Amino acid sequence: MKIEIAARLKPFSHTPGMSCVIPKSNGVIEAFPTLLRINGKEWKIAITGPVHGFTLQQDLERDCVYVFGKAKEGYFRLRIESHDDRFQIVSEKGPLKNGEIRAENAISTMNRFERLSLGSHKAQDWDLVQRRGDLKEILPTLFYLGQKIPHVAPQPLTGTAVLLNLPEGREKLEEALLAFIKAGFKNMLVPRLVDDQHQGFVPEGDAKGNPIFLIQEGSKMIRSLFFRQNERRLSFLPHLPISFDAGRMVGLIAPGIGEIDLEWSKKLLRRAVIRAAVSGEVIVELQKEIKTFRISKKKKIKRGEPLLLEAGKTYHLDRFEK
- At 130-154, the pLDDT tens digits run 999 999 999 999 999 999 999 999 9
Q: Is residue 4 part of a domain?
A: no
Q: What's the distance, CA 313 to chain centroid?
A: 29
- Which of 178, 195, 225 is the last residue before a domain boundary? 225
Residue 240 neighbours by CB under 8 Å, 6+ apart:
170, 225, 226, 264, 267, 287
* Structural domain boundaries enclosing 276: 231-321
- Which of 205, 225, 245 is the last residue before a domain boundary? 225
Q: Do 244 and 146 reside in the same domain of the chain?
A: no
Q: Which residues of the chain have pLDDT under 50?
A: none
Q: Is residue 3 part of a domain?
A: no
Q: Do 140 and 94 reside in the same domain of the chain?
A: no
Q: What is the pLDDT of residue 8?
A: 94
| Number of domains the chain is built from | 3
Q: Do 121 and 79 reside in the same domain of the chain?
A: no
Residue 175 neighbours by CB under 8 Å, 6+ apart:
none
Q: Do 216 and 242 reside in the same domain of the chain?
A: no
Q: What is the pLDDT of residue 321?
A: 92
Q: Do 121 and 193 reside in the same domain of the chain?
A: yes
Q: What is the pLDDT of residue 221?
A: 97
Q: Is residue 199 part of a domain?
A: yes
Q: What's the distance, CA 79 to chain centroid?
A: 21
Residue 126 neighbours by CB under 8 Å, 6+ apart:
11, 12, 13, 18, 187, 188
d(CA 56, CA 127): 11
Q: What is the pLDDT of residue 205?
A: 83
Q: Do 195 and 256 reside in the same domain of the chain?
A: no
Phi, psi (deg, nearest 5) at residue 252: -65, 125
Question: β-pairing, 12-13 with 52-59?
Answer: antiparallel
Q: Do 236 and 215 reside in the same domain of the chain?
A: no
Sign, Cα dihedral of 21, 22, 23, 24: negative
d(CA 208, CA 194): 9
Residue 107 neighbours by CB under 8 Å, 6+ apart:
24, 25, 82, 83, 84, 150
- Which of 180, 205, 225 is the last residue before a domain boundary? 225
Q: Is residue 7 part of a domain?
A: no
**Bridge-partner residues for 211, per DSSP?**
none
